[in-house]
Amino acid sequence: MLCPLGADGDGWPAGAGAVGPADVAQPAGLGGLAGGAGSAAAAGPSAAVALGDAVELGDAAAVGGSVGPVILATDLAAAVREHEQRGDVRWVWADTAEVYPALLAAGIRVERCHDVALTERLLLSREGAAGQPSYLAAAAARLHGRPVPPASRPAASDGPQPSLFDSPETPQDGLAQAAARLGDLVAVHAGQLTRIAAGPQPGRFGLLVAAESAGGLIAAEMSAAGLPWRADVHDQLLTDLLGPRPAGPVGPAGPRPARLADLAARISAAFGDGRPVNPDSPAQLVRALAADGVQVTSTRFSVLREIDHPAIPLLLEYKELARVHAAHGWSWLDTWVAAGRFRPEYVVGGVVSGRWATRGGGALQIPRTLRRAVIADPGWVLVVADAAQLEPRVLAALAGDQAFAEAAAAGDLYTALASAFGGDRNDAKKALLSAMYGGSGGEAGQLLSVLRRRFPQAYNFVETAAQAGEQGRTVSSVLGRTCPPPSQAWRSLAAGSADPDGGPDLGAGRAARARGRFTRNFVVQASAADWALVLLASLRRRLNTMGDGPPAGADRAGADRAGADRAGAGRGSSGWAGPHLVFFQHDEVIVHCPAAVADQVVAAVDDSAREAGRLLFGATQVSFPMTTAVVDCYADAK
DNA sequence: GGTCGGGGCGCG
DNA sequence: AAAGCGCGCCCCGACC
């Protein structure tokens, strides 16, 4: 069932659709980001609501109000494909993560969408209602003053709808449910547009909503495409480090590989009383060291390294190898790599700052040593691009600090700032990190006072954010993503300290400072996440114009899953014919593309970085250079 | 038997 | 050199 909205329901508040942020001189920005409408955004791309399949609906009146003509469809995928081919559609749907993977499996990509759940969460945070459920049914219930239904899926965070329909008894029931759900969708969408328009800086927030929704699409597309991963290379790497793969059960419970077993035995033997010590157990290690007269407060690598004891060198080696085995060993390989691809599940906005998280597979913690296994398909390359010194540059732009911005205009930021710190690049770096993270120990204090003197606006910007946090207020990113309010426990603690009879305020002061560090960092980290998200959306749009895009249809997608590990000539084994995103990690992206278009992709990355800077910060002097490498193997980048 | 917090460490 | 921010995931061991 499809329901294209009329031109006046184009998905944007009038002001935001036509222009970028009022104080950002980039009129065409939103439309461009959102999918290629460019300045035509003012005319309004049509939008549509996608709900389910095999359901017929009478007419627009049935779902209430301001929607355009209703199109009957018996096949969601086919209908979406048809509308996409006509172009100029923004799909409005409840939850990209729920709807889009099936479309991708059928070989269909969409240009843009409005994700109601992601948008709801952004709005709730801004409205001081963070933590309330953001799925469609909950949003609709709030809108209509009904009791909010419980999430019917065991909430991983804020769980999406379990399914499109609740197993209708009859086709008529199915129709009724679908109609109700579509009504909810239309109403909640309209309500969201109103809330965006009524809030502060609707242009910026609209950009955030567009970028977040694009992020939803990209996350699903990257999961579908997968990161090229050579299981044979990974296996060889493990064998070189750990010895041959042990026979027996796959999984953490399995036997230690030869090298780890050998080290474990020698570690036990190196202790005085000769009894077995499990090197995986910090408690046992502390006891065993104590028995030999060595007192330690922890068994961290950095602590152990300073200790003189025969077991230590073995232990350090063991810890390093055991980590690889446990986190990214054969068990991981069996679980997460199939048909030459690693397919993590990304969680858009999984971090309060707007950074992404992943579920399973630890995709955002791939150790450097294992990046050897990330190898482009034959004839293809990886374009690995990361934003150089993103967070301090974002701070420079946020604060509008002229002197700082000049230093961040080009080249290495820390080098440019070095003269202010007596010519030492490391001092400049330390001072900035301390300012952004709230560090105070060691020489940080001294360096901070230099920063304060030379770059007062940048210093004051993070200082103000820290004070807001300490006082229990919230802070926001440049596009308006808002941090969570303090917990009830925090408030009680803070209130207690103000009470003369409240006893010692030890905890209160510590909690206040901790929250200050959080909000101090939030404004920078979240704004950097804004930037990265806009970069990603912009890059996706550019890449889509360069190749013939996604696999042509379900047949191909099915065939790929069936396991063609190696690519045929000219087409990656994912079946994607053109450049496509395969990885995103905070400030770094990887594009998998035919070697012949690598130069174009590099240019697209640079253009996207410029566009992101312009959309967020307008005519700032600050530049956001990308460090880009074109490689066969991820490990060869930087 | 399962759950959960802590220690530790990978990434940005 | 580490620390100050944000995560996910492993193992252990206390606990129910």
> Which range is least confidently modeled, A62-66, A228-232, A302-306?
A62-66
> Which range is least confidently modeled, A246-250, A501-505, A623-627?
A501-505
Tally of CA atoms within 13 A in the half-sphere of A475 that contains its CB = 28
Give me the A residues in range 451-510 that sit within 7 A (CB) of strand B.
none
Kindly indicate the confidence band of residue A175, based on its pLDDT and cuts at 50, 70 and 90.
Answer: low
Query: Which residue pairs from A569-576 have beta carbons closer than 8 angstroms and sit at least 24 positions apart in sequence?
Result: A569/A378, A569/A379, A570/A379, A570/A594, A572/A228, A572/A377, A572/A380, A573/A228, A573/A339, A573/A340, A573/A341, A573/A377, A574/A224, A574/A225, A574/A226, A574/A341, A575/A550, A575/A551, A576/A225, A576/A547, A576/A549, A576/A550, A576/A551
Res A80 pLDDT > 50: yes
Query: What is the distance of C-alpha A610 from the center of its chain?
Result: 20
Which residue would you say has higher pLDDT here, A401 or A58? Answer: A401
Distances (CA, A) of A23 to A262, A391, A478, A491, A611: 64, 22, 12, 35, 16
> Which range is least confidently modeled, A128-137, A370-379, A557-566?
A557-566
The answer to whether A379 and A570 are in contact (CB under 8 A) is yes
- Cα-Cα-Cα-Cα dihedral of A96, A350, A367, A623, to 10°? 90
Q: A456-470 and A390-399 helices cross at what angle (nearest 10)?
A: 90
A295 touches strand B (CB under 7 A): no
Average pLDDT over chain A, rounded to an integer: 80
> What is the model's pLDDT at position A630?
97
Distance A196 CA to C10 C1' (A): 42
Res A50 pLDDT > 60: no
A317 touches strand B (CB under 7 A): no
Distances (CA, A) of A39 to A30, A43, A114, A206: 8, 8, 19, 15
A281 touches strand B (CB under 7 A): no
Kindly indicate the confidence band of residue A172, based on its pLDDT and cuts at 50, 70 and 90.
Answer: low
> Which range is least confidently modeled, A144-153, A155-164, A171-180, A479-488?
A155-164
Rounded to an integer, the average pLDDT of A276-281 is 92
The answer to whether A83 and A184 are in contact (CB under 8 A) is no
> What is the model's pLDDT at position A271?
92
Q: Tens digits of per-residue pLDDT, A538-561?
A: 999 999 998 655 554 433 333 343
Distance A499 CA to C9 C1' (A): 41
Q: Give the bases of strand C that a protein CB approaches within 7 Å.
A: 1-14
A364 touches strand B (CB under 7 A): yes
The count of other CB atoms within 10 Å of the CB of residue A530 is: 26
The encoded tokens of residue A439 equal 């560090």
Rounded to an integer, the average pLDDT of A568-589 is 76
Across-strand partners of A92?
Answer: A49, A114
Which residue would you say has higher pLDDT here, A422 or A137? Answer: A137
> What is the model's pLDDT at position A423?
78
With CA of A326 and C1' of each nucleotide, the nearest comes out as C10
Kindly indicate the confidence band of residue A417, based on its pLDDT and cuts at 50, 70 and 90.
Answer: confident
Which residue would you say has higher pLDDT here, A306 or A19? Answer: A306
> What is the model's pLDDT at position A493?
82
Res A115 pLDDT > 80: yes
Q: Which residue has the tokens 């200790």?
A: A307
> What is the model's pLDDT at position A128?
92
Element (H, E) at A291: helix A282-291
Distance A155 CA to C16 C1' (A): 23
Rounded to an integer, the average pLDDT of A190-202 is 94
Kindly indicate the confidence band of residue A73, based on its pLDDT and cuts at 50, 70 and 90.
Answer: low
User: For nucleic chain C, which protein residues have CB less than 7 Å from any of its atoms?
Assistant: A 252, 278, 280-281, 283-284, 302, 326-327, 332, 347, 350-353, 355, 357-362, 364-365, 430, 433-434, 437-444, 514, 517-518, 521-522, 525, 586
> What is the model's pLDDT at position A399?
93
Rounded to an integer, the average pLDDT of A436-451 is 84
Give the pTM. 0.86
Rg (CA), chain A: 27
> What is the model's pLDDT at position A45?
39
Q: Tens digits of per-residue pLDDT, A471-518?
A: 999 999 999 999 999 988 888 888 876 555 444 455 788 889 999 999
Whole-number percent of chain A with pLDDT over 90? 51
Q: Tens digits of per-residue pLDDT, A381-398?
A: 999 999 999 999 999 999
With CA of A282 and C1' of each nucleotide, the nearest comes out as B7
With CA of A520 and C1' of each nucleotide, the nearest comes out as C5
> What is the model's pLDDT at position A572?
47
Q: Give the bases of strand B that a protein CB approaches within 7 Å.
A: 7-12
Which residues neighbour A358 within 8 Å (Cβ) at sequence distance 6 or greater?
A: A344, A345, A346, A347, A350, A364
> What is the model's pLDDT at position A152?
53
A367 touches strand B (CB under 7 A): yes
Query: What is the distance of C-alpha A594 from the center of its chain?
Result: 26
| Residue whose Cα is closest to the C1' of C12 | A281
Q: Tens digits of per-residue pLDDT, A83-114?
A: 788 777 788 888 999 889 988 999 999 888 89
The encoded tokens of residue A328 equal 């990214």
Which residue would you say has higher pLDDT here, A54 or A446? Answer: A446
Distance A301 CA to B9 C1' (A): 9
Rounded to an integer, the average pLDDT of A610-624 is 94
Widest pairwise Cα distance in chain A: 83
With CA of A344 and C1' of each nucleotide, the nearest comes out as C8
Give the residue among A339, A341, A110 at the shortest CA–CA distance from A225: A341
With CA of A365 and C1' of each nucleotide, the nearest comes out as B11
The encoded tokens of residue A228 equal 């090229």
> What is the model's pLDDT at position A297?
87
Angle among Cα A112, A118, A124 to the nearest 5 degrees reads 140
| Residue whose Cα is closest to the C1' of B12 | A586
With CA of A369 and C1' of each nucleotide, the nearest comes out as B10
Distance A42 CA to C9 C1' (A): 47
The answer to whether A152 and A167 are in contact (CB under 8 A) is no
Rounded to an integer, the average pLDDT of A191-205 is 95
Beta pairing class for A580-584 and A626-631: unpaired
> What is the model's pLDDT at position A220?
96
> What is the model's pLDDT at position A89?
76
